[in-house]
Amino acid sequence: MPLDIGFGAVNAFQMNQYAITCTQTKQAVLIDCGASSQKELDTFLEWITTRNYELKQVWQTHAHLDHVAGLGMLRTMYPNIPIWLHEKERGIYNSFDKRRKEFGFTVEGSGILPDEKSLEWFDKDSRPRNQMTLGNLTFDLFPCSGHSPGHVGFYELNSKAFFCGDFIMQGSIGRTDFPTSSPTEMKASLKRFVELMEDDVVIYPGHGSPTTVQREKQHNPYLQEFL
């Protein structure tokens, strides 16, 4: 399979960070760079380099602090690397330092994220991006707002792989009780997901173990009302 996947839990929130690669072109992407220490980040970068892959981009499902914590360290090491995030996540992204202090969340180094002006924004200036490419792989952007206003997932049709952040997790979904969350939008996103995703799609969530659409249809109460 041309898609190679490495992942592991990082930071105090045990957030799943992913390194994904196109084995045919040796290009790699980090999904949700939440590593809060240099050691955590280096584990992923070593996974990439020891396999002779080359890191090309960073894709963010959303901007909650546990998903973006490593971007400052990464940008120091890769000054020109494109970091993609949805425009509707801008406010959450810019509140990182405030939220970090509120939670007592420790980030190694300065803890300062890259300036928003240096990021690439989905939907900025009427530039919608419906797909992202990684070498010979094409990922559809799946809008799944609810947990956060600009939450997106990345779906690769041929590999049947869906990287969804805090949208759906094994037996559960992302919280919708935050000030920037929307239970109504989450329900709409879940309904669309159930209607469009095939049962054999593998879900790679932001927390916990991978699962499948079929398993979640059978065991996840938040999906069952849409079957």
Q: How far, in Å, CA of 83 to CA of 121, rounded?
A: 8
Q: Under a CB-based contact definition with an 8 Å cutoff, are residues 205 and 211 in contact?
A: yes
Residue ranges of domains in the chain, CATH in brackets: 3-224 (3.60.15.10)
Listed residue (34, 151, 141, 139) closest to 88, CA to CA: 151
- pLDDT tens digits for range 140-161: 999 999 999 999 999 999 999 9
Proportion of the chain in helix, strand, coil states, percent, rounded to 5: 30, 30, 40
pTM: 0.96
Q: How far, in Å, CA of 109 to CA of 32, rounded?
A: 19
- pLDDT tens digits for range 76-119: 999 999 999 999 999 999 999 999 999 999 999 878 999 999 99
Task: Determine how β-strand 161-165 pairs with β-strand 152-156.
Answer: antiparallel
